[in-house]
């Protein structure tokens, strides 16, 4: 992508995506763009497969060369909404903000409005012409914490490249059930759960997923983990910690049965049972500034609801 809004990218279909639909493969390989936008580019011939214009439903073989040559236009009919934002830093290239738990990042089926993107378009109207409104990574609806948003095509390209090269450092606090003996690195293959379309899973084959954690604080039956991501798969931290039998407190998808220790007070039992979200908070973000190349880092305190629950665990 260059400053005029022209996009010129190429990717080859990897073995693990062979036989999938053209539009699904494109969404995986060019994930900085929305699937609907990629479908339009396929239909218009701006996105080709081995130099041919195909249909979105056509299946592609491994090794097929995808070539994208297009000019960015306004990304659909998203509406600007006056949604309060907690901006931590802003300059002409990037916006760093604290996303609160309960806020969906991007409009989708069932959530056409009231999202972080709608609020960003109100505060920063220039984002309407950027891929996904400048959003280069996401947090789940009920995960709180730091996110970075691009304000220009140059910044967008830089941030996407840094994420692809795994040079962006993201640290999270996760309050989990169980007490790990020590930290570790979790390295697995990862993908969509074949038995549950809303879930991700550790698989025998799939994309590589790498998560590191250390134990920041131990409680009697729980622990606060400092987690860092080397890759950024959907639900990666939640799936990996559950896979190691340390599910995140309050996680509705991966938390398993709400088995609570028998030796705790009734008030703590109620606090754990009623915690309204997964106790996961992105507290630190480090990246190279897209314009200056300077290493920049931001850090925020742990979310208030998690801090309050931790005080109860220390009783």
- C-beta separation of 227 from 172 below 8 A: yes
- C-beta separation of 14 from 72 below 8 A: no
In 24-143, which ranges are E strands?
47-49, 65-71, 86-90, 94-99
Q: Which two tokens stand for residue 69?
A: 């040559």
Q: Rounded CA gap, 104 and 254, in Å? A: 19
Could you say which of 31, 43, 77, 140 is catalytic?
140
Q: Rounded CA gap, 9 and 102, in Å? A: 35
CA 78-79-84 angle, to 5 degrees, is: 120
Which is nearest to 262 in space by CA: 213, 215, 221? 221
Reply yes or no on whether 226 is catalytic.
no
Q: Rounded CA gap, 239 and 259, in Å? A: 18
CA dihedral 13, 19, 21, 22 (to 10 degrees): 30
- C-beta separation of 189 from 202 below 8 A: yes
- Which residue numbers are catalytic? 140
């Amino acid at each position: 992508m260059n400053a005029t809004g022209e996009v010129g990218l190429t990717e080859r279909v990897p073995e693990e995506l062979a036989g999938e639909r053209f539009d699904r493969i494109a969404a995986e390989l060019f994930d900085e763009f929305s699937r609907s936008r990629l479908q339009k580019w396929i239909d218009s011939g701006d996105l080709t497969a081995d130099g041919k214009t195909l249909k979105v439903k056509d299946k592609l073989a491994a090794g097929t060369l995808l070539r994208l040559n297009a000019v960015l236009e306004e990304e659909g009919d998203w509406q600007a909404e006056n949604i309060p934002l907690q901006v931590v830093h802003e300059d002409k290239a990037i916006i760093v903000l604290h996303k609160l738990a309960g806020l969906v990042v991007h409009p989708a089926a069932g959530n056409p409005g009231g999202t972080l993107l709608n609020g960003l378009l109100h505060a920063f109207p220039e984002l309407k012409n950027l891929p996904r409104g400048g959003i280069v990574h996401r947090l789940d609806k009920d995960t709180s914490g730091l996110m970075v948003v691009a304000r220009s095509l140059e910044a967008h390209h830089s941030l996407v490249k840094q994420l692809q090269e795994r040079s962006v450092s993201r640290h999270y606090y996760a309050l989990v059930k169980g007490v790990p003996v020590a930290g570790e690195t979790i390295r697995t293959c990862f993908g969509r759960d074949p038995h549950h379309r809303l879930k991700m899973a550790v698989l025998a084959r799939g994309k590589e997923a790498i998560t590191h954690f250390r134990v920041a604080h131990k409680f009697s039956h729980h622990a606060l983990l400092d987690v860092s991501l080397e890759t950024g798969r959907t639900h990666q931290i939640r799936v990996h910690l559950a896979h190691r039998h340390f599910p995140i407190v309050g996680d509705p998808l991966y938390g398993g049965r709400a088995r609570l220790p028998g030796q705790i007070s009734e008030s703590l039992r109620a606090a754990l049972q009623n915690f309204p979200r997964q106790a996961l908070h992105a507290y630190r973000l480090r990246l190279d500034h897209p314009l200056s190349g300077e290493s920049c880092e931001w850090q925020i305190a742990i979310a208030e609801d998690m801090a309050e629950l931790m005080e109860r665990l220390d009783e």
